[in-house]
A and B are shown apart, each in its own frame.
Chain A
Amino acid sequence: MILELLIGLCLLGSVVLFVTPNRYAGRLAAGWSLLPLALSLLMYAGFSGQGNALLGGQLAYETTVQWVSLGPYTLNWHVGLDGISMPLIALSTVLTTAAILSAWTPIEERENQFYGLVLFLEAGLIGVFAVLDFFVWFVFWEAVLVPMYFLVAIWGGPRRKYAAIKFFVYTNVASLVMFIGFFTLVFGLGDSIASLDMPAIAQALRAGELGSLAGVGPGTLKTLAFAAMFAGFAVKVPIVPVHTWLPDAHVEAPTPVSVLLAGVLLKMGTYALLRFNFTMLPDVAQQYAAIIALFAVVSVIYGALLALAQQDLKRIVAYSSVSSMGYVILGLVAYTVYGVGGATFQMLSHGLISGLLFACVGVIYNTTHTRMVDDMSGMADRMPVTTSMFVAGSFAYMGLPLTSGFLGEYFVFLGTFHADFPGAAWFTAIAMFGIVIVAGYLLYAMQRTLFGPFSVKTAHADGGAMRTDGGEGSGSEAEHDIDRAAAHDIVPLAMLLALVIVLGVAPEISFGMIRDAVGPLVTAGGAG
Chain B
Amino acid sequence: MTGGLGVGVLQTAPPIGDWVALAPVLLLALTALALFVIDSVDPDDASGGGALAGTAAVGTLLALVAAIALLIAGIGQGQGGALRLYGGQLIVDGMALFFTVIFTSVATLVIVASYDYLRDRVYQAEYYVLMLLATTGMALMASSGSLATVFISLELASLPSYALVAFLKDNRGSVEAGIKYFLIGALSSAIFAYGISLVYGATGRLGLEAIARSLSGGTQLVGILGVGVLMVAGGFAFKTASVPFHFWAPEAYEGAPAPVSAFLSSASKAAGFVVAFRVFAVAFSPEAVVASVDWTLAFWLLAAVTMTLGNFAAATQDKVKRMLAYSSVGHAGYVLIGLAALNSGQNGLVLGASMIHLLVYGFMNTGAFLFVALAEYWEVGRTFEDYNGLGTQAPIACVAMTVFMFSLAGLPVGGGFMSKYFILVGAVGTGHFLLAALLLINSALSLYYYSRVVRSLWFEEPANSIGIEGYPLGLYAAVVGAAVVTFLLLPGIFLVSDAAISAASALFV
- Chain B binds chain A: yes
Which residues from chain A sit less than 8 Å from chain B, CB to CB?
18-19, 67-73, 110, 113, 135, 138-139, 142-143, 145-146, 150, 153-154, 160-161, 164, 168, 172, 176
Note all chain B residues with C-beta closer than 8 A to A18: 395, 399
Contact B418 A72 (CB under 8 A): no
Instruction: Report yes or no: A176 in contact with B497, Cβ–Cβ below 8 A.
Output: no
B459 contacts A154, CB within 8 Å? Answer: yes
| B350: nearest chain-A partner, CB-CB | A71
Residue-wise, chain B 383-419 has the 8 Å CB interface mask toward A (1 for contact) of 0000000001001100100000010000111000110
Q: In the complex, are the beta carbons of B501 and A70 less than 8 A apart?
A: yes
A-B contacts, 12 of them at CB < 8 A, read: A18-B395, A18-B399, A19-B396, A67-B491, A68-B493, A70-B349, A70-B425, A113-B395, A135-B421, A142-B411, A153-B458, A176-B444
Partner of A146, one of B352, B406, B418, B444: B406
CA distance A114 to B491 in the complex (A): 25
* Inter-subunit contact B459/A153 (CB<8 Å): yes
Q: How far is the CB of A257 from chain B (nearest CB, A)?
A: 15
| B422:A161 contact, CB within 8 angstroms | no
* A67-B494, A143-B413, A146-B413 known; A72+B458 contact, CB < 8 A: no
In the complex, chain B residues whose CB is within 8 Å of the CB of A69: 494, 498
Q: Tell me whether A161 and B459 are in contact (CB under 8 A).
A: yes
**Contacting A71 at CB < 8 Å: which of B395, B422, B447, B490?**
B422
**CB nearest to A152 among chain B residues:** B459
A486 to B502 Cα, complex, angstroms: 62
Interchain nearest-CB distance for A274 vs B (Å): 23
Shortest Cβ distance from A183 into B: residue: B428
Contact of B466 with A by CB under 8 A:
no
Asked if B429 and A72 make an inter-chain contact with CB atoms under 8 angstroms apart, the answer reads: yes
Q: Given A70-B349, A70-B425 in contact, is the A161-B455 Cβ separation under 8 Å?
A: yes
A139 to B426, CA, bound (A): 19
| Residue in B412, B451, B459 whose beta carbon sits within 8 Å of that of A143 in the complex | B412
B422 touches A146 (CB 8 A): no
Taking a contact as CB atoms under 8 Å apart, the answer to whether A71 and B429 are in contact is yes
Number of A-B residue pairs, CB cutoff 8 Å, is 58
- Whether A68 and B429, one on each chain, are in contact in the complex, defined by CB atoms closer than 8 angstroms, is no
CB–CB A139/B395 < 8 A = no
Contact in complex: B417, A154 (CB < 8 Å): no
**Which listed residue (B392, B396, B426, B494) contacts A68, Cβ 8 A?**
B494
B412 touching A139 by the CB < 8 A rule? Answer: yes
Interface centre among A68, A143, A150 (most CB of B within 10 A): A68
Q: Given the complex, which residues of A lie within 8 Å of B399, measured CB to CB?
A: 18
The 6 closest A-B pairs by CB, nearest first: A139-B412, A71-B425, A68-B494, A142-B412, A153-B459, A143-B412
B410 nearest in chain A by CB position: A142
- A70 proximity list for chain B (CB < 8 A): 349, 352-353, 422, 425, 497, 501
- Measured between beta carbons, the chain A residues less than 8 angstroms from B425 are 70-73
Q: By the criterion CB–CB under 8 Å, are A139 and B417 in contact?
A: yes
Known: A68-B418, A71-B422, A154-B459. A146 touches B497 (CB 8 A): no
Within 8 Å CB of B429, what residues of A? 71-72
| Contacting residues, chain A, for B440 (C-beta < 8 A) | 176
What's the nearest-Cβ distance from chain B to residue A499, in Å? Answer: 32
Give the docked Cα–Cα distance between A161 and B412 (Å): 22
Q: Please, which residue of chain A has its CB at the minimum distance from the CB of B447?
A: A172
Chain B residue with the shortest CB-CB distance to A68:
B494
| Bound-state Cα–Cα, A139 to B414, Å | 10
- A interface secondary structure, majority: helix
Residues of A within 8 A of B493 (CB): 68
Q: How far is the CB of B204 from chain A (nearest CB, A)?
A: 39
Q: Is the pair A150, B458 in contact by a Cβ cutoff of 8 Å?
A: yes
Chain A nearest CB from B407 CB (Å) reads 11
Distance of B31 from chain A, by nearest CB (Å): 35
Once bound together, how far apart are the Cα atoms of A381 and B14, in whole Å?
Answer: 90
Q: In whole angstroms, what is the CA distance A154 to B498 when docked?
A: 40
Rounded to whole angstroms, the CA-CA distance of A168 and B413 in the bound complex is 15
Complex: A109 Cα to B493 Cα, angstroms: 36
Bound-state CA distance A84–B266 (Å) is 46
> With contacts A146-B413, A161-B459, A176-B440 known, what are 19 further pairs, Cβ within 8 A?
A68-B418, A68-B497, A69-B494, A70-B352, A70-B497, A71-B349, A71-B422, A71-B426, A71-B429, A72-B429, A73-B425, A138-B412, A142-B411, A143-B412, A145-B411, A154-B459, A164-B459, A172-B444, A172-B447
Q: How far is the CB of A43 from chain B (nearest CB, A)?
A: 23
Chain B residues near A150: list those with CB within 8 A. Answer: 458
Instruction: Provide the residues of chain A in CB contact with B417, threshold 8 Å.
Output: 139
Give the shortest distance, in Å, between B422 (CB) and chain A (any CB): 6
Identity of the chain A residue whose Cβ is nearest the Cβ of B406 in the assembled complex: A146
B346, B451, B458, B501: which has the most chain A beta carbons within 10 Å? B458
A70 to B357, CA, bound (A): 14
A176–B501 Cα distance when bound, in Å, is 27
Looking across the interface, which residue of chain A has its beta carbon closest to that of B496? A68
Nearest Cβ distance between residue B475 and chain A, in whole angstroms?
A: 19
Residues of chain A within 8 A (CB-CB) of B353 are: 70
Q: How far is the CA of A18 from the CA of B395 in the complex (A)?
A: 9
Q: How far in angstroms is the closest Cβ of chain A from B384?
A: 14
**Chain B hits for A143, CB < 8 A:** 411-413
From 411 to 466 in chain B, residues with beta carbon under 8 angstroms from any chain A beta carbon are: 411-413, 417-418, 421-422, 425-426, 429, 440, 444, 447, 451, 455, 458-459
Query: In whole Å, how far is B458's beta carbon from the nearest beta carbon of chain A?
Result: 6
B346 surroundings in chain A (CB, below 8 A):
71
CA distance A18 to B352 in the complex (A): 36
* Cα separation A70 to B491 with both chains bound (whole Å): 14
How far in angstroms is the closest Cβ of chain A from B344?
Answer: 13
Which of chain B's residues 116-167 have a Cβ closer than 8 Å to chain A?
Answer: none
How far is A138 from B498 in the complex, measured between Cα atoms in Å?
A: 22
Measured CB to CB, the closest approach of chain A to B242, in angstroms, equals 25
- Decide if A110 touches B459 in the complex (CB within 8 Å): no
Docked Cα-Cα span, A71 to B399, in Å, equals 33
Residues of A within 8 A of B421 (CB): 135
Q: Which partner residue on chain B sits nearest A156 by CB separation?
A: B459
On chain B, the residues within 8 Å of A67 by CB distance are 491, 494
Give the Cβ gap from A378 to chain B, nearest Cβ, in Å: 37
How many angstroms between the C-alpha atoms of A69 and B499 in the bound complex?
12
CA distance A145 to B454 in the complex (A): 14
B residues 342-383 in Cβ contact with A at 8 Å? 346, 349, 352-353
Docked Cα-Cα span, A388 to B282, in Å, equals 77
Q: In the complex, how many angstroms separate the beta carbon of A165 from the nearest chain B beta carbon? A: 8
Across the two chains, which residue of chain B brings its CB closest to A75? B494
A230 and B417 CA atoms in complex are apart in Å by 24
Give A135 to B352 CA distance when docked, in angstroms.
20
Closest partner residue, chain B, to A113 (CB atom)? B395
Chain B residues with Cβ below 8 Å from A154 are: 458-459
Q: How far is the CA of A171 from the CA of B399 in the complex (A)?
A: 23
In the complex, the chain B residue whose C-beta lies closest to that of A77 is B491
* A176 / chain B contacts, CB cutoff of 8 Å: 440, 444
Mask: chain B, 477-509; 1 = CB below 8 Å from A; 0 = not: 000000000000011011001100100000000
In chain B, residues 81-106, which have Cβ atoms closer than 8 Å to a Cβ of chain A?
A: none
